[in-house]
Amino acid sequence: MNAAADTAVRVTVPASTANLGSGFDALGLALSMYDTVEVHPVDGPAGSARVEVTGAGAGSVPDGERHLVVRVIHKVLAELGIPAPALSLTCWNRIPHSRGLGSSAAAMVAGASAALRMVGVDPREDSNAELVLQLVSEWEGHADNAAASLFGGLVIAWNDAGRFHAAQSMVHPDVFPVALVPQEESSTHTTRGLLPEQVPHADAAFAAGRAALAVHAMATDPSLLLAATADRLHQDHREPAWPATTDLVRRLRAAGVPAAVSGAGPTVVAFPAAGALPGGVDLGDFRAEPLPVDGGGVRVGPLG
């Protein structure tokens, strides 16, 4: 590891969809929609930053040292005992913010990966990946999105006494995710506040069975995805936050299309056969965007 964060880096990180029905805070799937960040150490006051954003969040996300990627870079460097240099960041954002596609987790994975690579460390090596996963998951409160953006593919995430872990699972080549993205935004904090503190035992048992089935269906038999993505644990409780989302989920499922709320919503993720949605389902204000599974996770390398 270098003694200074003096390497310019470029990071590309995928979006993710979480839960996949009943796998609440446990299942995540990386999608081929990407944010890219270039980080350059520059002359200037230590810890200062200037940030240029193109795409999602341009003109609305915090600037300078308050930008999420910068905050994570500073946190990782502090953990390593390395002073933060002045930074110049350029961000190209495709992942829409506050839509349930893991934009905040992707930004944090990008920041943590950039910080490690700036000091000559590979963020994908085992102990370093554990550091990234732990830091981002503590910040988020759950590891499903972070693990998907970090590792790619399908991930199963869990929390063991405050330590976050993730395992990867195979994804069948006939799994074709389609994101149905509305214009409206949604707050994860708000939608989590709608969840009950307790659920009936029958609903918990239903969720356990369907989450396990989802892993099998994703890896081995996509024909089971309609049953596997059913949920009684969280989606209906969150309906007041985005009624159009749950309505679209129900109509897609009635048409035989596996569908669920993506993360905290309001995006819907569907898994139609061959990636083609049926023509008879009115999508309303939702924009359909086919997003193949990303199998590689975060990519990071030096610039110049």
Taking only the tens place, the pLDDT of each residue in 160-214 is 999 999 999 999 999 999 999 998 887 766 777 888 889 999 999 999 999 999 9
**Cα separations in angstroms, 113 against 10, 54, 75, 177, 290:** 10, 20, 12, 26, 27
Taking the CA of residue 126 as centre, how many other CA atoms within 13 Å lie in the half-sphere pointing to its CB?
A: 1
Q: State the Cα–Cα distance between residues 66 and 171, nearest whole angstrom.
A: 37
pLDDT tens, 83-120?
A: 999 999 999 999 999 999 999 999 999 999 999 999 99
pLDDT at 279: 87
Helix axes of 126-140 and 68-80: crossing angle, nearest 10 degrees: 130
At residue 63, the pLDDT reads 87
In the annotated binding site, the residues are 96-106
Q: Which is nearest to 17 in space by CA: 101, 110, 140, 109? A: 101
DSSP state letters, 144-176: HHHHHHHH-SEEEEEEETTEEEEEEE---TT--
Are 284 and 277 within 8 A, CB to CB? no
State yes or no: pLDDT of 300 exceeds 90.
yes
pLDDT at position 193, please? Answer: 83
The residue written with tokens 């009943």 in the block is 22
**Is 51:14 a contact under the CB 8 Å cutoff?**
no
Tens digits of residue pLDDT in 28-79? 999 999 999 999 999 999 999 999 999 998 888 988 999 999 999 999 999 9
Q: What is the pLDDT of residue 190?
A: 74
Beta strands in the chain (DSSP E): 9-18, 27-42, 49-55, 86-93, 154-160, 163-169, 178-181, 259-261, 268-270, 287-290, 299-302
**How many whole angstroms from its chain centre is CA 270?**
16
Residue 162: its pLDDT value, please? 93
Tens of pLDDT, residue by residue over 117-170, are: 999 999 988 899 999 999 999 999 999 999 999 999 999 999 999 999 999 999
Instruction: Note the pLDDT tens digit of each residue in 213-240.
Output: 999 999 999 999 999 999 999 999 998 8
Mark the binding-site residues for ATP, compressed into ranges: 96-106
